[in-house]
Amino acid sequence: MACRQSSAGTLICLSLLLLLLLSTCSGLYEDQIKKFDWRSVHLGALKQVHVDLNHFQPRVLLSTHEQVVASLCPKTGEIIWRQVLEQKPRGDIKLLQVSGFADDSSDTAAAPMGSHLGFDMLTVQGHAPALVRGWNTNIGTIEWEWSIMPLHTERAQDAVWFYSNSVLYHVVPVWRSHIEVTAYFATSGHTTGSTSKIMAAWIKPESCLLSGTFYVCLDGKQLISLDLVAKSTQVIATPLGAEPSSKIQSLPGLNGLLIVDKKLISVNKDQAVCSELTSASYLVGSFNLRKVLAYADLVDGVLKINAVYVDNCTPVPELQQSVAFAEDFGTPSLRSFDCKAKRNGDGKNCLFIFATSAESIVAVQQGRVRWAREESLANVIDTQFIDLPLADTEGTLENEMKGKAVDAHSLNSDIASAFMRRITTQALQMKSLFLHVIGLGPPPTDTQKAGLVRDSFGLHKMLVLLTRSGKIFGVDNIAGKHHWKLYLPNVAGFENAEQMRLIVQRSSKHFPLQPLCAIVAKSAVNSNGVLFRFNPITGRAAESGLLQLDYQIKQLALLPETEEDFVKGILILDGTNRVHVEPKHATPLAHGMYLYTANVKTAELEGYFVKYAGGELSCLPIWNVRLGGHNSEQQIIKVASKNPIEHVHSQGRVLGDRSVLYKYINPNLVAFVTQAPDAAHKSVLNLYLIDVVSGSVIFSMTHRKVRPPLHIVHSENWLAYSYFNDKVRRTEITTIELYEGNAQANNSVWSSLQAPSMPLVERQSYIIPTIVEAMRETITERGITNKHVLIGTASGGIVEMPWHLLDPRRPISSTTQGREEGAIPYIPELPLPTENYINYNQTVARLRNIYTAPSGLESTCLVVATGLDLFVTRVSPSKTFDLLKEDFDYILISIVLVVLTSGSLIVRHLASRKLLKQAWK
Amino acid sequence: MSAKQNSKKSKWALDFNVSKNADMPSPPGYNPTALVNQTEVVRDQRLVIKKSWDLALGPLKQIPMNLFIMYMSGNSISIFPIMMVGMMLIRPIKAMFTTQVTSKMAEGAQGTGQRIIYILGNLANVALALYKCHSMGLLPTHASDWLAFVQPQTRLEYYGGGVSFI
In degrees rounded to 5, what are phi and psi of residue A163? -120, 130
Q: What is the pLDDT of residue A62?
A: 93
Tell me the Ramachandran region of residue A700: left when phi exceeds 0, alpha when psi lies from -120 to 50, beta otherwise: beta
> Are residues B61 and B92 in contact, defined by beta-carbon separation less than 8 angstroms?
no
Q: Residue B161: which of A557, A652, A655 has the nearest Cβ?
A: A557
Helix H, strand E, coil C: the string for B110-143 is CHHHHHHHHHHHHHHHHHHHHHHHHHHCCCCCCH
Contact B160 A659 (CB under 8 A): no
Pairs across A and B, CB distance < 8 A: 126
pLDDT at B28: 77
Any long-range contacts for A174-183 (C-beta under 8 Å, 24+ apart)?
A174/A203, A175/A203, A175/A204, A175/A205, A176/A201, A176/A202, A176/A203, A176/A204, A177/A201, A177/A203, A179/A203, A179/A215, A179/A226, A179/A228, A181/A228
Distance of CA A645 to the CA centre of its chain: 21
Asked if the model's pLDDT at residue A397 lies above 70, the reply is no
For A:656-685, CB contacts with B below 8 A are 658-660, 665, 667-668
pLDDT category of residue A819 using cuts at 50, 70 and 90: low
According to the model, what pLDDT value does residue A816 have?
A: 65
Cα angle value B72/B76/B78 (rounded, 5°)? 100
pLDDT band at A271 (very low <50, low <70, confident <90, very high): confident
Determine contact, residues A67/A125, Cβ cutoff 8 Å.
yes
d(Cα A847, Cα A843) in Å, to the nearest integer? 9
- Say which of A593, A639, A667 has its CB closest to residue B155: A667
Q: Do A659 and B156 touch (CB under 8 A)?
A: no
Contacts of B147 in chain A (CB under 8 A): 650-652, 654, 660
* pLDDT tens for each residue of B67-92: 998 888 888 888 888 888 888 889 88
- For position A701, what pLDDT does the model report? 94
Per-residue pLDDT tens digits for A891-911: 999 999 999 999 999 999 999
CB A596 within 8 A of CB A608: yes
Q: Which residues of B touch A (CB under 8 A)?
A: 137, 142-145, 147-148, 150-166
Write the DSSP symbol of residue B62: H
Residue A745, chain B, CB below 8 Å: the answer is: no
CA gap A205, A859 in Å, rounded: 57
pLDDT tens digits along A538-596: 899 987 888 999 999 999 999 988 888 899 999 999 999 899 998 889 999 999 999 99
Q: Are A247 and A261 in contact (CB under 8 A)?
A: no
Closest Cα in chain A to B139: A658
Chain A nearest-CA residue for B145: A658
The pLDDT of residue A694 is 92
pLDDT at A609: 94
Return the pLDDT at A28: 76
Q: What is the mean pLDDT of residues A812-826?
A: 74
All residues of chain A having their beta carbon less than 8 Å from the beta carbon of residue B133 are none
End-to-end CA distance of chain A: 77
DSSP state of A666: -
**Model confidence at A413: pLDDT above 70:** no
> What pLDDT, on a 0 to 100 scale, did the predictor assign at position A345?
65
Q: A469 and A357 in contact (C-beta within 8 Å)?
A: yes
% helix / strand / coil in chain B, to the nearest 5? Answer: 65, 5, 30
Is residue A498 within 8 Å of B165, Cβ to Cβ? Answer: yes
Phi, psi of A86 (to 5 degrees): -60, 155
Which pLDDT belongs to residue A201?
86
Q: Among A429-438, A440-449, A649-658, whose mean pLDDT is lowest? A: A440-449
Place A533 in a pLDDT band, splitting at 50, 70 and 90: very high
* Residue A1 in this model has a pLDDT that exceeds 50: no
Please list every residue in chain B whose beta carbon sits closer than 8 Å to the beta carbon of residue A592: 157-158
User: Across A439-587, where does the E strand assignment appear?
Assistant: 461-467, 471-476, 482-487, 491-492, 501-506, 516-523, 529-534, 541-548, 553-561, 568-574, 579-582
**Which distant-in-sequence residues (6+ apart) come within 8 Å of A324 by Cβ?**
A301, A302, A303, A368, A369
* Long-range contact set of residues A435-438: C-beta below 8 Å, sequence gap at least 24: none
Contact across the interface for B165 and A554, Cβ inside 8 Å: yes
- Rounded CA separation A860/A835 (Å): 18
DSSP string, A552-590: -EEEEEEEEEPTTT-PEEEEEEETTS-EEEESGGGGGGG
Of A817 and A677, which is predicted with more confidence?
A677
Of B127, B140, B117, whose CA–CA distance to B89 is shortest? Answer: B127
Contact A598 B162 (CB under 8 A): yes
Q: Is the dihedral of CA A23, A27, A29, A32 positive or negative?
A: positive
Every domain of chain A and the residues it spans: 21-40+768-885, 280-358, 390-449, 636-743
Instruction: Indicate the average pLDDT of chain A.
Output: 86
Is the model's pLDDT at A260 over the cut of 50? yes
Burial class (CB in 10 A: 0-12, 13-18, 19+), A919: exposed
pLDDT at A875 over 90: yes
Nearest to A648 among B152, B157, B166 (CB): B152
B161/A659 touch (CB, cutoff 8 Å), yes or no: no
How confident is the model at residue A904, as a pLDDT? 97
A239, A567, A873 from A463: Cα distances, Å: 54, 20, 12
Task: Name which of B150, B154, B161 is nearest A597 (Cβ-Cβ).
Answer: B161
- Using the Cβ of A693 and the Cβ atoms of chain B, whether some distance falls under 8 Å is answered with yes
Q: What percent of chain A has pLDDT over 90?
A: 48
Round the CA-based radius of gyration of chain A to a whole number and report it: 33
Name residues 634-653 of chain A within 8 A of B (Cβ). Answer: 636, 639, 641, 647-652
Separation of alpha carbons A761 and A740, rounded Å: 9
Q: Which residue has the higher pLDDT, A6 or A356?
A: A356
| Residue spans of beta strands (DSSP E) within A228-343 | 235-239, 249-250, 257-260, 263-266, 281-287, 290-299, 302-309, 321-324, 332-339
- Give the H or E element holding residue A59: strand A59-64
CB of A556 within 8 Å of a chain B CB? The answer is yes
Cis peptide before A667 (omega within 30 of 0): no
Rg (CA), chain B: 34
B159:A594 CB<8 A? yes
Q: What percent of chain B has pLDDT over 70?
A: 78
| For chain A, percent of residues with pLDDT exceeding 70 | 90
Measure the CA–CA gap between B61 and A75, rounded to whole angstroms: 95
Measure in Å the smallest separation between the Cα of A659 and chain B Cα atoms: 6
**What CA–CA distance (Å, rounded) separates A407 from A401?**
10
For A677, the 3-state DSSP assignment is strand
The per-residue DSSP string of A589-646 comes to GGTTEEEEEEETTTTEEEEEEEEEETTEEEEEEEEEEE-STTTT--EEEEEEE--TT-
Residue A396 has pLDDT above 70, yes or no: no
Burial class of A74 by CB neighbour count within 10 A (0 to 12, 13 to 18, 19+): buried
Nearest CA in chain B to A668: B159
Asked if pLDDT for residue B135 goes beyond 60, the answer is yes
CB-CB: which of B154, B159, B163 is closest to A748?
B154
Nearest CA in chain B to A646: B152
Is A495–B164 a contact, with Cβ atoms under 8 angstroms apart?
yes
Q: How confident is the model at residue A24 (pLDDT cuts 50, 70, 90)?
A: very low
A595 touches chain B (CB under 8 A): yes
Q: In this complex, do B155 and A558 lie within 8 Å of one another by their Cβ atoms?
A: no
Query: Is A265 a residue whose pLDDT tops 70?
Result: yes
Distance from A772 to chain B by nearest Cα, in Å? 23
Q: Pick A344 or A5 by higher pLDDT.
A: A344
| d(CA B48, nearest CA chain A) in Å | 41
Would the CB atoms of B165 and A522 count as touching at under 8 Å? yes
pLDDT band at A773 (very low <50, low <70, confident <90, very high): very high
Task: Determine which of A48-57, A669-678, A775-784 has the lowest per-residue pLDDT on average.
Answer: A48-57
Residue ranges of the domains in chain B? 34-136
Contacts of B151 in chain A (CB under 8 A): 651, 747-748
Average pLDDT of A865-880? 92
CA–CA separation, A277 and A248 (whole Å): 16
DSSP letters of A60-80?
EEEEETTSEEEEE-TTT--EE
Q: Kindly identify which residue of chain B lies nearest to residue A716, measuring between CA atoms.
A: B152
Which of B151, B159, B166 lies closest to A668 in CB terms?
A: B159
- Name the residue among A498, A654, A665 with its Cβ closest to that of B163: A498
Mean pLDDT along residues A465-482: 93
pLDDT at A743: 87
Query: How close does chain A come to B127, measured CA to CA in Å?
Result: 22
Do A861 and A854 touch, CB atoms closer than 8 A?
yes
Query: Closest to A556 (Cβ–Cβ): which among B137, B154, B160?
Result: B160
Question: Is A623 in CB contact (< 8 Å) with chain B?
Answer: no
Q: Is the pLDDT of residue A851 over 70?
A: yes
CA A327 and chain centroid, separation: 23
Residue A771, amino acid: I
What residues of B are in contact with residue A636 (Cβ under 8 Å)? Answer: 163
Query: What's residue A186's pLDDT?
Result: 86
Name the residue facing B159 among A575, A693, A744 (closest C-beta): A693
- The answer to whether the beta carbons of residues A472 and A486 sit under 8 Å apart is yes
| Contact flag B157-A495 (C-beta cutoff 8 Å) | no
Does an H or E element contain A693, and which?
none
**pLDDT of res. B53:** 81
